Amino acid sequence: MVEKSFQLFPEAASSIAGHVDALYAYMVVVSAFFSLLIAFLVVFLAVKYRRKNDQIPAPTNDHGVGGIVLEIVWSVIPLGLSLVMFAWGASIFFTESRPPADSMQVYVTGKQWMWKIQHNEGAREINELHIPVNRDIRLTLTSEDVIHDFYVPAFRTKTDVVPGRYTTEWFRPTKVGAYHIFCAEYCGTKHSGMVGTVYVMNEADYENWLGRGSGEGSMAEQGQGLFNQLGCGTCHASAINKQNGRCPNLNGLFGTTVELSDGSRVKADESYIRESVLYPQAKIVAGYDGIMPTFKGLVTEDGLLKLVEYVKSLGPQDGTESSATPAPTQTSGTPAPPPPPRATRPAAAAPANPAAAGNR
């Protein structure tokens, strides 16, 4: 979208945009009101109480009740007005931080100086993001090199893209159209050229676009290929070999709470899977030996996302069902320390076809 004429604000094209703009307008009005009031009083009082002759008035020490009331009033009113900013801002922040459970998942990898985007269904694009209108879209973002920041002004969302970890951004586009993507964190020479376009399409156009596909299969399918290629299945139970017990079972794992050998617990989310591939010794599952070698340097960030998506396809679809399906053997009250019998646990009620799962 090229700016047709001068615009004070970028287009408001997401469900949150109106709220952000309203808060912004409130802050502008409050700030403008007090700036003008104070400027007026400075000038007005300077004129009104200017020295009119050479007589120096006697200093006054009159701090009566009127003075105290005035001080309380001008402290409490601005405090109230700023607390409104705080509460309102916090509410928007919480909304923007919590993607709805059934969001459509898209993966974004930042790299000097481009955005690489992968859809669950397998489509890949660079510096372009095609999404359907009126759907909650959840981006999982990571970087191959330095810190970038994925910014879509029309959606009023902006998230740091940090090497070595996954961050999340979500939005619900409300208007069909094309909108700028900017990198909003200085990341080197061509930072200003690290731009792209979000294409918000109606459902039919989107299905059409998706139908062109990449011919490489869904991300989960590609992840499964990588899983086999790297030999993960020789140790881990997964969809292919359900009875492998030497390493933690991956079936039904995603989104559950895992008990570790040091007694602590961790949620099996994207970051946990990524860390377990790259730094297997960082978190060892209770009842297992830390025998897994690192795959650091053997898997790219794109590959890691595919592996994550594969593991996801084996278990509860999103982190939301986690507390509802604790593995029975992971209960700390179990008398005997359980060896790894988790292979017997039925793969949770996840759709068998990962492509269909991503295509709800």
* DSSP designation for 163: B
What is the C-alpha to C-alpha distance for residues 110 and 301, in angstroms, rounded to an integer? 10
**What are the E-state strand segments in the chain?**
104-111, 114-119, 124-126, 128-132, 137-143, 148-152, 157-161, 167-171, 177-183, 196-201, 257-259, 265-267
Would you count residue 308 as binding ligand CUA (CB under 6 A)?
A: no
Would you count residue 169 as binding ligand CUA (CB under 6 A)?
A: no
Would you count residue 117 as binding ligand CUA (CB under 6 A)?
A: no
**Which CB, 187 or 201, lies closer to ligand CUA?**
187
Query: Of 109, 118, 302, which is closest to residue 210 (Cα–Cα)?
Result: 118
Whether 116 contacts 109, CB under 8 Å = yes
**What helix, strand, coil percent values describe the chain, rounded to 5?**
40, 20, 45
Would you count residue 183 as binding ligand CUA (CB under 6 A)?
A: yes
Tokens, residue 348: 């949770």
Would you count residue 191 as binding ligand CUA (CB under 6 A)?
A: yes
Tokens, residue 232: 């993960």
Stretch that binds ligand CUA, among 9-17, 60-68, 184-192, 206-214 (CB under 6 A): 184-192
Q: How far is the CB of 171 from ligand CUA (least distance, A)?
A: 19
Phi, psi values for residue 49, rounded to 5°: -105, 25
| Numbers of helices and strands, H then E, in the chain | 7, 12
Count the residues of the shown chain that bind ligand CUA, applying the rule CB under 6 A: 9
Stretch that binds ligand CUA, among 186-194, 230-238, 241-249, 281-289 (CB under 6 A): 186-194
Q: How far is the CB of 167 from ligand CUA (least distance, A)?
A: 14
Would you count residue 279 as binding ligand CUA (CB under 6 A)?
A: no
Would you count residue 187 as binding ligand CUA (CB under 6 A)?
A: yes
Among 24, 34, 186, 279, binds ligand CUA (CB under 6 A): 186
**Which CB, 114 or 123, lies closer to ligand CUA?**
114
List residues near ligand CUA by CB under 6 A. Answer: 110, 113, 148, 183, 185-187, 191, 194
